[in-house]
Structure 1
Amino acid sequence: MSETPRTPEPARQDDLPEGARHVARLLAGLGHDQPIVLLPTTGKTSAEAAAGLGCDVAQIAKSILFRRAADDTPVLVIASGVNRVDEKKVAAQVGDLARADARFVKENTGYSIGGVSPIGHVVSPLTLIDEDLLKLTSLWAAAGHPHAVFNLTPTQLVAMTGAPVVDVALRD
């Protein structure tokens, strides 16, 4: 597959689930000009999202939430869809990590697993961006619902989140 994805049909605001409407409002407030699109099937995994978009799995900016063990602060890692996150590398940046279950994810982000957007969380997380995402020209990120995504550039992702770009990938 090429790095240039096919262009899915933008969703009408009225057709979006509430979480995606929330993200659409935030994106509009940031002046982001790319619409939210709804995938025909779930985008809970990077492979499913890439298949629905016709893009490379690497272009999926997946959001993985951890919990910092010391104080229960949410830690959001936005990683390339092809990378597994190295928890030791993340812990070296933010402190020891603990598992974030579905309840923790929903309570702290406002989104369900599979739909966690990089922006608009209930509790502002400590966020890290996978440096491998900056090698690409086009990314797709979850938009508040497992079927909703939006297109952006790596530069836009960094600007929207204000997060540092670091090496978080597990390397064999």
Structure 2
Amino acid sequence: MVNTEHPAVDRVRAALAEHGLNPEITWFEVGTPTAAAAAEAIGTTVGAIANSLVFALDGAPILVMTSGAHRVDTDWLGERLGGAIERASKDLVKDATGQTIGGVAPVGHPAPVRTYIDTALRDYDVLWAAAGHAHTVFPLSYDELVRITGGTEVEVVPPAQ
């Protein structure tokens, strides 16, 4: 039996409700810490997975919600955001989001985290995001993702040449 109780998931559920969303949170027997694992467990394409990646932009945490089909080009994106982007440490991820790597949700953080949304996610009618734990996901639309995060829409990889 899967334990469906976790404080981080409860915070995500509450944050979603504050935004008028009450999606069903799916719990898996095993963790789905990668976009490929989540897509396989859900039965969707990897591009529909809204990966929550925490980076440090000039030392400050940012959240980049990216399509599972993309690998963020941190040099390219950093130039567009006017700073240097580095992968966040697991401690920075936990401090900024209250969640651990592999289960970071777009909401439910102790304080707002500046968020950027990969415009490639627009291509999918239903997105799947982690719900605060590596064993969880929930569905939402692109417009809902932008609305609940207050995120800035960006390209995370250079346009094809």
TM-score, length basis structure 2: 0.91
Equivalent of residue 135 in structure 2, options 125, 133, 147: 147
Secondary structure of the equivalent of 1:158?
helix
Contact 1:24 1:35 in 2 (8 A): no
Q: What amino acid does structure 1 have at the position aligned with 2:77? A: V
- For the pair 1:24 / 2:4, whether they are aligned, the reply is no
Residue ranges of structure 1 left out of the alignment (5+ in a row): 1-10
Identity of aligned residues (%): 37
Deviations 1:101-135 (A, max 9, x none): 11111111100000111112224222110010011
Which residue in 1 is equivalent to 2:94?
106
Once residues 149 and 94 of structure 1 are traced to their aligned partners in structure 2, the CA distance between those partners, rounded to angstroms, is 32
Where does residue 61 of structure 1 map in the other structure?
50
Taking the aligned partners of 1:129 and 1:24, their CA distance within structure 2 comes to 20
State the superposition RMSD in angstroms.
1.7
1:131 paired residue number: 119
Aligned residues: 158
- Summarize deviations over 1:11-38 as a string: whole Å, max 9, x none: 9xx8222111111111122111311111
Is residue 2:104 matched to residue 1:116? yes
Q: TM-score, normalised by structure 1?
A: 0.85
Contact 1:23 1:144 in 2 (8 A): yes
Which residue of 2 is the match for residue 48 of structure 1?
37
Question: Gapped runs of 5+ residues in structure 2?
Answer: none
Q: CA deviation at 1:53?
A: 0.5
The answer (yes or no) to whether the contact 1:57–1:81 under 8 Å persists in 2 is yes
8 Å contact from structure 1 (residues 79, 85) kept in 2: yes
